[in-house]
Chains A and B, each alone.
Chain A
Amino acid sequence: MLHLDHLRLTQDGFSVTADWSLAAGSRLALLGPSGAGKSTLLMGLAGFTAPSGGRVLWQGRDFAALPPAQRPVSILFQDQNLFPHLTLAQNLGLAIHPRLRLSAGDLAWVDAVLERLGLAGYGPRKPATLSGGQLGRAALGRVLLQARPILLLDEPFAALGPALKADLLGLVNDLAAEAGTTVVLVTHDPLDARRFADVVGLVHDGIADAPVATEAIFANPPPALRAYLG
């Protein structure tokens, strides 16, 4: 269980608070207008900002003091998920071992992941030679290899267009289900939330509400959601 215990995150003088928990294996969409604090919350969970109050626990253990790489968390950014000067295999290898000292077993694992993502044989290529959809899948490979119980997605694949984005979100869905990963997705698109998430958390005016079942919240939208949907 992911537990945000009176958590307060502050970035550039702006604060967002959250006090709720999320069952392991859930898929949560954080929905709300831009500037409401969605990204601040996500960056705090990933470990780029230290909390200014409260705790954040996974399976009962507080990880608020850990650096990003030691948290039970992996993250997909909006872009810049791969280093352009390294090959795909090197990029994915970094997720296993930051010094890139890879054993034959590690390399086989990288190849297996590339194959699973439909990128078999793409290991020696640089990111610039890939299409947008392929880049998205390669970035997913990176988080797959990190193999963390929580996956954070910051408006992922937003630049790709609706069809490709739906494809990739479907892939995330499958992979998360296979591994039992808890997923937190930040989006401003209600359609993403409806299609992907089983719970939705509204973020408005610096408050992240407790998650509510997706069908329930869209069937009977609270005032903040109604205002956002227009």
Chain B
Amino acid sequence: MANRSVQISAWALSGGIVVLVLGTALALAVQAKGIGLHPADWAALRFTLIQAALSTLLSVLLAMPVARALARCTFWGKRALIVLMGAPFLLPVIVAVLGLLSLYGRNGIFNHTLQALGLPTVTIYGLHGVVLAHVFFNLPLATRMLLNGWHAIPAERFRLAQTLGLPSTFRHVELPMLATVLPGIALSIFLVCLTSFVVALTLGGGPAATTLELAIYQALRFDFDPGHAALLAAMQFAICAVAVSMTARFTLTEGLGLGLDRASVGHKAHWVDVPVLGLVSLFLILPLVAVIIDGTPALLHLPALVWQAALRSAVMALVAAGLSVTAALILVQAKVAGAPLVEGAAMLPLATSGLVLGTGLFVLTRGFVRPEAMALPVTVMVNALMALPFVFRLLLPQARDLHRNYDLLAQTLGLCGWARMRWLTLPRLARPLGLGAGLAAALSMGDLGVVALFAGQDQATLPLVVQRLSGAYRMDQAAAAALVLVLCSFALFALCDIGGRRAAP
């Protein structure tokens, strides 16, 4: 007996998402030129899968000791370290890449050190560079997800194992937890690495290190071959769809049992934890420090177009965040009121990527609309859509509580429509709404995907400006613009998040 208007808008919205995601995929399949794949396409497919698999494996393997150390140690600054682990999720990819280039590039500290020690230098371009960047982004993500797994083990279970005198708590308590959570974590990271475009654009390239996404971009932007781009995009969609459908199966098995207290995990810190946490902190902090050091000198001498792009990007990010949060709020309310299939619609964008959507829209509207005219609106819409699954997941638990605790009371009072939104839903969900808006805004601010396909010279967003500056080897300006970008992303996130907290009762 939920609100009719919510139900109807949820259905319309779900229908829109399905049409957009599957419609573009269908258009791509129809437009795909022939079935013949060039050897280069096979190479791109192979490289996409290999880099994603390697990045996932390394991220998860390295995250295990880090998460375990975090779970069993208490030290000054632990909260800050856990917050830092969340930062890469908000960090624009192009900024992180510049930071990594500054450290591990030809003139970076890393190679200087190798030279000083008389060792051969390494290049960051190619497979290992792509994997390095992906580990930088996904190691913290995996750590936080694993840490949740460790925290979800009830302390009683550790005590039980001790009472029973079990020789290894790892085998009987922690291993079963890992077996439950690892497949889901690995699959979500694999998915992130499959669809990562900027890393391949900047650190990959060439016949040996081109991903499908990069190949789509090159087919559209340089070869002007929409049929070929459509074929590649259809392949990319198929792979992601398979990965997403597998993820859905795993995340269903998450319940691990609730403990009465979840503060302490029942075993002591180990000396290994110190170097583990120290190294991972350095690995995460140094690229950020590099961006700050490289970017500061030119900060006040940036050309006006950087500031214009920053303003354009910020406005687009706020619009995308507003759209994403509104859509998520409508869908989540319908979901908790028992509407079927709504969650599937909210998760569907995971099966595609910004570049695939963009290529599909390009193919569909070719001949009607100039690509430059679509660049900014399509970017906003795609960014809103790509953030939707995350925002939906953020809202879901508290929306569920709200429904369970207060739906009957609201019904008795006749609280419905806008009054229910104003007096019940918005105040109760202010926190996750603010957090979700911040996340969507930061993701959108830093996104460099679909806009790279379409944008003309005078429509550049800030990430695109950074990429163009670094492509033109104006590294000091690129670094300064990157610093502006990361400050904007974090500021937008903080603005929304704090706004949500303030508005919360």
In the complex, the answer to whether A68 meets B424 with C-beta atoms within 8 Å is no
Contact of A98 among B1, B414, B427, B505 (CB under 8 A): B414
Most chain B CB inside 10 Å of its own CB: which residue of A47, A77, A99 = A99
For A54-93 the 0/1 string (1 means CB < 8 A from B) is 0000000000000111100011010011011110001000
Q: Which residues of B contact A47 (CB under 8 A)?
A: 411
A3 to chain B, nearest CB (A): 22
Given contacts A94-B423, A98-B419, A99-B419, contact A81 B409 (CB under 8 A): yes
In the complex, the answer to whether A84 meets B408 with C-beta atoms within 8 Å is no
For B398-429 the 0/1 string (1 means CB < 8 A from A) is 00000001101101111110111001100110
In the complex, the answer to whether B419 meets A85 with C-beta atoms within 8 Å is no
In the complex, the answer to whether B413 meets A98 with C-beta atoms within 8 Å is yes
In the complex, the answer to whether B413 meets A69 with C-beta atoms within 8 Å is yes
In the complex, the answer to whether B405 meets A80 with C-beta atoms within 8 Å is yes
Q: Which residues of A contact B413 (CB under 8 A)?
A: 69, 94-95, 98, 146
Q: Which residues of B contact A77 (CB under 8 A)?
A: 408-409
For B423-450 the 0/1 string (1 means CB < 8 A from A) is 1100110000000000000000000000
In the complex, the answer to whether A69 meets B409 with C-beta atoms within 8 Å is no
Q: Which residues of A contact B415 (CB under 8 A)?
A: 69, 94, 98
A214 to chain B, nearest CB (A): 28
Q: Which residues of A contact B411 (CB under 8 A)?
A: 47-48, 67-69
In the complex, the answer to whether B408 meets A70 with C-beta atoms within 8 Å is no
In the complex, the answer to whether A69 meets B405 with C-beta atoms within 8 Å is no
A46 at the interface (CB under 8 A from B): yes
Most chain A CB inside 10 Å of its own CB: which residue of B408, B416, B418 = B408
Contact of A83 among B1, B406, B408 (CB under 8 A): B406
Given contacts A67-B411, A70-B414, A77-B408, contact A100 B419 (CB under 8 A): yes
Q: Is the interface of B mostly helix, strand, loop or mixed?
A: helix
* Total A residues in contact with B, Cβ cutoff 8 Å: 24
B432 to chain A, nearest CB (A): 14
Q: Which residues of B contact A81 (CB under 8 A)?
A: 409
User: Which residues between 370 and 419 of chain B lie within 8 Å of chain A, taking CB atoms?
Assistant: 405-406, 408-409, 411-416, 418-419
In the complex, the answer to whether B412 meets A68 with C-beta atoms within 8 Å is yes
Most chain A CB inside 10 Å of its own CB: which residue of B1, B412, B418 = B412
A96 to B408, CA, bound (A): 17
Q: Which residues of B contact A146 (CB under 8 A)?
A: 412-413
Given contacts A67-B1, A83-B424, A98-B419, contact A46 B412 (CB under 8 A): yes
Q: Which residues of B contact A86 (CB under 8 A)?
A: 423, 427, 505
User: Which residues between 93 and 121 of chain A lie within 8 Å of chain B, taking CB atoms?
Assistant: 94-95, 98-100
A77 to B420, CA, bound (A): 19
A63 to chain B, nearest CB (A): 14
User: Which residues between 1 and 50 of chain B lie within 8 Å of chain A, taking CB atoms?
Assistant: 1
Contact of B409 among A67, A80, A90, A100 (CB under 8 A): A80
B304 to chain A, nearest CB (A): 46
A46 to B407, CA, bound (A): 13
For A186-215 the 0/1 string (1 means CB < 8 A from B) is 000000000000000000000000000000
Q: Which residues of A contact B405 (CB under 8 A)?
A: 80
Q: Which residues of B contact A68 (CB under 8 A)?
A: 408, 411-412, 414
In the complex, the answer to whether B414 meets A85 with C-beta atoms within 8 Å is no
In the complex, the answer to whether A69 meets B505 with C-beta atoms within 8 Å is no
A24 to B292, CA, bound (A): 77
In the complex, the answer to whether A85 meets B408 with C-beta atoms within 8 Å is no
A126 to B427, CA, bound (A): 14
Given contacts A67-B1, A94-B415, A99-B419, contact A85 B427 (CB under 8 A): yes
Contact of B414 among A46, A69, A84 (CB under 8 A): A69
B413 to chain A, nearest CB (A): 5
Q: Nearest B residue to A139 by beta-carbon distance?
A: B409
A170 to chain B, nearest CB (A): 24
B423 to chain A, nearest CB (A): 6
Q: Which residues of A contact B414 (CB under 8 A)?
A: 67-70, 98
In the complex, the answer to whether A75 meets B406 with C-beta atoms within 8 Å is no
Most chain B CB inside 10 Å of its own CB: which residue of A47, A68, A77 = A68
Q: Which residues of B contact A100 (CB under 8 A)?
A: 419, 423
Most chain A CB inside 10 Å of its own CB: which residue of B1, B414, B418 = B414
A142 to B449, CA, bound (A): 54
A101 to B415, CA, bound (A): 13
In the complex, the answer to whether B412 meets A80 with C-beta atoms within 8 Å is no
In the complex, the answer to whether B505 meets A84 with C-beta atoms within 8 Å is yes
Q: Which residues of A contact B420 (CB under 8 A)?
A: 98
In the complex, the answer to whether B412 meets A85 with C-beta atoms within 8 Å is no
A-B contact pairs, 28 of them (CB 8 A): A48-B408, A48-B411, A67-B1, A67-B411, A68-B408, A68-B412, A68-B414, A69-B413, A69-B414, A69-B415, A74-B412, A75-B412, A77-B409, A80-B405, A80-B406, A80-B408, A81-B409, A83-B409, A83-B424, A94-B413, A94-B423, A95-B413, A98-B414, A98-B423, A99-B418, A99-B419, A100-B423, A126-B505
Beyond contacts A80-B406, A86-B505, A98-B415: 11 other A-B pairs, Cβ-Cβ < 8 A, are A48-B1, A48-B408, A68-B411, A69-B413, A77-B409, A80-B408, A83-B424, A94-B413, A94-B415, A98-B416, A98-B419
User: 10 closest A-B pairs (Cβ-Cβ)?
Assistant: A69-B414, A85-B505, A68-B411, A99-B419, A85-B427, A98-B415, A98-B419, A98-B414, A80-B405, A68-B412
